Amino acid sequence: MRDLSGKVAVITGAGSGFGRALAIGLAKQGVIPVLLDKSEIGIAETIKLIGKQADIMWQAIDVRDSGALIDFAAAVQQKYGHIDIMINNAGMISRAENFLEMDEAHSRLVFDVNYWGVNNGCRAFAPYLAKQPEAALVNVASSLGVFTCPLHTSYCASKAAVVAYTEVLRQELSGSRVAITLVLPGAAKTNLGQNILIDDAVKKRQAAENFERFAKTSPDKVAAKIIHGIKTKSRRVSTGLDGVGLIWFAKYFPATANKIMNFAYRRTGDAEQFIKLDKIFS
């Protein structure tokens, strides 16, 4: 899909971060951006940044609502007559909890957004992609879906589920005209860290600071690599030195990758969580 001009691209989580950067970047290449996000305020800001150079369709939808996504997909198809690109980008990060004290409701929320949101998006839009001479389905997982980090069982597991789900789709759609791209970004300068669901204000600030300590790559750079991946029908797109490097380590030296992450998080993460585990298992 070398020429993106005139293509219709649906983007979830388009109100901030990668989704916003993708919407802006694709619009500059003549793509018609269709924006989905649970925040109307976020979508409005993205539309403002895109400017008047693009025809834009949008709706405030929570990706956990499969029915709403199915209805919206039909509306997009009816308006434009074609859907060429679907980017399942919406996601959230879990708060730091050891596996013994992990809150079940919080964990289920993380899975509902990160895994089921991708599943819902694929099921709603993939049948329309299949009608096109060529189309792209992009699922944004995380480098932490390949290698892992302590205290984020729910996030790592949910993103690993997206990795496996995407590879299954690749098998099931083998021979179709839908190119499937799995995105494995490292930590990036998005608002994920600021949106961690923590009631305690001090711990929330500390969690955001810890996230930002690792987040070095700009959303624009991530979006540019994803767009290149769409054009070249790349199977996988990895971004950030941390993401690319540790994925490589996880593949060839898994024990070393685990040691690196364990050391890093014990130095910078929630020490209280490790102390609790050490008292039980040491």
Annotated catalytic residues are 155
Please name which of 91, 88, 240, 219 lies closest in space to residue 155, comparing C-alpha atoms.
91
Q: For the purposes of burial, counting CB atoms within 10 Å of the CB of 44, is it exposed (0-12), middle (13-18) or buried (19 or more)?
A: middle
Name the amino acid, one letter, at 114.
N
Q: How far apart are CA 50 and CA 135, in angstroms?
A: 23
Separation in Å, CA 240 to CA 3, 15, 194? 26, 22, 20
63 token code pair: 């990706």
Q: φ and ψ at 138, to 5 degrees?
A: -120, 125
